[in-house]
Amino acid sequence: MPSLNALLDNVAQSHRAKDYAQAETSIRDALHVILDLRAAEQMELGLLNSCLEHGLSLMELYPDAATGYTWCANVYSAKCNYKRAAELYALASERDPNSLELQQAAAQSLARTHCRLDPLLHLPNEVILKIFDFIPQMRVRCTRVSRAWRHHLLSLGSLWTTLSIYVVRKPNVGYWQGGLQRYLHPNLKHVNVSTNGHVCAILSLLIQADCMNIKKITLRDVTHYKPDSSADGRRSHMDISFLHQLSMLGHSLTHLRIGSSLRPRGLLCMLLTTLPCLEILVFRPSPDTKQRYTVPTWDDTYLSTPRATSLRHLEWMNHWDSDGMTEANFLAAYCPDLEYILLNSFGEALSPVELFAEIVQKNCHNLKQLTLGVTRIDRHLRDIGTRPDVHGVRYLTLNTQMPLNSTFAQDLLVQHEQTLEELHYISTPGVDFSTLRDTLHIQPPNLRWLAVAYSPLEGLHPLPAFITSCPRLETIQLDRVKLTPGLARALLQLPNLRTLSLSRCLGDVQSYLDFLEGVASLPHDQQRLEAFNFVSHNTSFDLNPILVATGALASVTHLRLCIKARSSKAALEEFLDNAAASGLIENAVYLDISVPGWDRGESRNMLEKAFVNTHGSLSKQELDAIHHRLGGQLNSWLSNDIRLI
């Protein structure tokens, strides 16, 4: 093919001679040369995708030329896709049958498709370890490829720092023990065990493999225990030998989580005496077993004398003797660093928690978070941080679905009034404090987060007066709480309110409109509301005005609307007009709107078209944090979403 300069000269000469047919041919040839040069340039720079784009352009514009097929084949060959490269080289050879280079390239690519390389023989160990960081669940499967793979992978100690063991319905002694031993390495730091009665056998194998650097152990016992009528019946694995094995592995152990249908009477003190280095201790009882099996009385003759522990985080249940006094006194005496306590209950006839909580909160001076009631593990526990000037509970959760004395709950609020920063209160459905005489008024000056479900406690009633007495409130989550005109006015008076969640709250539409229109009418520099969640209670009201008014919230960046009543097309269009005028569309970072309309497909298309740039790049962690901020955790508590570890 002529050079580019010669082709451009031909174009100029043909133009002067008005030979436009020749000019067109020269221009096409010149473009062919330019695209060829660009592809060569991109290939030399290693920009394979750009080179591929120029090759595809050549294939499209000049389908009878071999150039485009050759460049695309070169790119696929560089990407080790030899099958596709061989196909393209063959097509290029058909268009240029005299090119021995293309024929050889096609033959070499075809030969490489039949050649297999063992990556373990050619990749350095650092690369292999990095690959399995992305697919840790494939480690065991890859050891079954061949004996060479098994030997090589098992020799990489850094590859086996974590391990999940699932042993269910296996004999006490069998081949599974020999198979498991191959994967136990001294570098093991985190082990997750799911079994139905082989806990002690697995712990014994860990000891034999010299796994003495384990920091985290999660034991999930799926055995369905049944009460034993005999006096000396022992059906569980929790005995002195179990504690002895844990102590042998406990030199570096800081996290222990146990999930079981057992009821752990006496276990708390035994574990902390055996494992004083524990920082996090969690016991998650199974709520779905009708027959409760309690651990038999412990024989502590062979245990060492208790000493100070490193425990910071405790999750347990109120199944103990002497109303938890023994456990509380133990924690007060030997757990000086304890910061977080969660007590679970499932509506059983268990011991009261008041005495336990009273002793712990008075004697554990570093206690910062206290959760009493039916709750799930909080995935969004914030870093409390150190504040030497604050002594008292800063995060308090009370769930009266656990039998809880209301006077004791009020005493907790009074005692920690000056230190409370977050308060979550879940009342029993059907309880109405509105008829009670206001005998208790608390005004926590540092309260930033308030979550209330069903009805507020007497100390928080009337709720509008309590809210206005907490000027530092930034987040309010209300679920099934009646939104009165007074409460709407109180919300408007909060100068620092950033997040508001109203989920299934009773009240007339006008109370909602008073609040929404009040926020929208504020000057832009005074609007503080950043996140708003609204879930309607029922479908008996016309909720179109609420939808329309929400569009005028200019400062909101995180919006969730779940309106169960049918909306009209005109209301949705007015909402979008208000959102565009106020800047909501431009400022929105997260949007979740569920509005049953006249046409679900059309309404969804309207929303997607308007909010096309919303939360396209949010990670899963960011979405979880937003879900928590908009009341997701409170809703999960109300649904009793409780499960084993």
Q: What is the pLDDT of residues 151-196, one digit of tens each?
A: 999 999 899 999 999 988 887 777 788 888 889 989 999 999 998 8
% of the chain at pLDDT higher than 90: 35
Quick check: helix, strand or coil at residue 632?
helix
Which of the four pLDDT bands, split at 50, 70 and 90, describes residue 206? very high
Q: What is the CATH number of the domain that holds 98?
A: 1.25.40.10
* Bridge partners, residue 282, by sequence: 257, 315
Average pLDDT value for residue range 343-365: 79
Would the pLDDT of 514 be above 80?
yes
Residue 215 counted as domain residue: no
- For residue 392, the model assigns a pLDDT of 82
Average pLDDT value for residue range 202-231: 83
Q: What is the pLDDT of residues 255-271, one digit of tens each?
A: 999 988 887 788 899 89
**452 or 349, higher pLDDT:** 452
- For residue 385, the model assigns a pLDDT of 54
Could you identify the residue written with the tokens 């006094």?
A: 325
HSE (CB half, 13 Å, CA atoms) of 550? 31
Which stretch of 137-151, 384-398, 463-477 has the lowest confidence by average pLDDT? Answer: 384-398
- For residue 399, the model assigns a pLDDT of 80
Listed in sequence order, the residues at least 6 apart from 123 whose beta carbon sits closer than 8 Å to its beta carbon are 131
Which of the four pLDDT bands, split at 50, 70 and 90, describes residue 69? very high
Residue 455 counted as domain residue: no
Would the pLDDT of 568 be above 90?
no
Would the pLDDT of 491 be above 60?
yes
Find which of 425-429, 490-494, 585-589 is predicted with most confidence, using mean pLDDT. Answer: 490-494
Length of the chain: 645
- For residue 275, the model assigns a pLDDT of 92
Residue 73 counted as domain residue: yes
DSSP 79-114: TT-HHHHHHHHHHHHHH-TT-HHHHHHHHHHHHHHT
- For residue 493, the model assigns a pLDDT of 92
- For residue 35, the model assigns a pLDDT of 87
Residue 169 counted as domain residue: no
* Average confidence score pLDDT of the chain: 82
Which of the four pLDDT bands, split at 50, 70 and 90, describes residue 618? confident
Quick check: helix, strand or coil at residue 341?
strand
- For residue 319, the model assigns a pLDDT of 79
Burial of 270 (0-12, 13-18, 19+ CB in 10 A): buried
d(CA 409, CA 45): 70
- For residue 318, the model assigns a pLDDT of 81
**401 or 585, higher pLDDT:** 585
Which stretch of 7-11, 122-126, 176-180, 592-596 has the lowest confidence by average pLDDT? Answer: 7-11
d(CA 379, CA 315): 13
DSSP 169-221: S--SSSHHHHHHHTT--TT--EEEEEESS-HHHHHHHHHHTT-----EEEEEE
Which of the four pLDDT bands, split at 50, 70 and 90, describes residue 501? very high
Which stretch of 64-78, 254-268, 327-341 has the lowest confidence by average pLDDT? Answer: 254-268
d(CA 485, CA 243): 59
- Domain limit, last residue, from 114, 142, 163: 114
- Domain limit, last residue, from 95, 114, 133: 114
Name the residue among 441, 414, 410 with its Cα closest to residue 425.
Answer: 410
- For residue 287, the model assigns a pLDDT of 62
- For residue 32, the model assigns a pLDDT of 83
Residue 453 counted as domain residue: no
Residue 424 counted as domain residue: no
**97 or 636, higher pLDDT:** 97
- For residue 458, the model assigns a pLDDT of 54
Asked if 258 and 221 touch (Cβ cutoff 8 Å), the reply is yes
d(CA 546, CA 600): 19
Q: What DSSP designation does 306 have?
A: P
d(CA 641, CA 344): 12
Which of the four pLDDT bands, split at 50, 70 and 90, describes residue 537? confident
- For residue 502, the model assigns a pLDDT of 92
Would the pLDDT of 288 be above 70?
no
Q: What is the CATH number of the domain that holds 570?
A: 3.80.10
- For residue 634, the model assigns a pLDDT of 67
Residue 330 counted as domain residue: no
Would the pLDDT of 217 be above 90?
yes
CB neighbour burial string for 146-182, b if at least 16 within 10 angstroms, e if fewer: eeeebebbbebeebbbebebebeebeeeeebbeebee
Would the pLDDT of 231 be above 60?
no
Q: What is the pLDDT of residues 102-119, one digit of tens each?
A: 999 999 998 888 877 888
CB neighbour burial string for 457-488, b if at least 16 within 10 angstroms, e if fewer: bbbbbbbbebbbebeebbbbbbbbbbbbeebb
Residue 207 counted as domain residue: no
d(CA 197, CA 168): 8
HSE (CB half, 13 Å, CA atoms) of 545? 12
Average pLDDT value for residue range 300-312: 85
Bond before 462 cis per omega within 30 degrees: yes
Would the pLDDT of 62 be above 50?
yes
Listed in sequence order, the residues at least 6 apart from 592 whose beta carbon sits closer than 8 Å to its beta carbon are 559, 560, 561, 562
Find which of 94-108, 228-242, 562-576 is predicted with most confidence, using mean pLDDT. Answer: 94-108
Which of the four pLDDT bands, split at 50, 70 and 90, describes residue 379? very low
Residue 220: Cβ within 10 Å count: 19
Would the pLDDT of 126 be above 90?
yes
Could you identify the residue written with the tokens 């679900």?
A: 600
The token duo for 161 is 């720092």
- Domain limit, last residue, from 114, 148, 177: 114
d(CA 564, CA 576): 19
Average pLDDT value for residue range 306-313: 94
Would the pLDDT of 636 be above 70?
no
Number of domains in the chain: 2
- For residue 4, the model assigns a pLDDT of 66
- For residue 30, the enclosing domain spans 4-114
d(CA 402, CA 279): 26
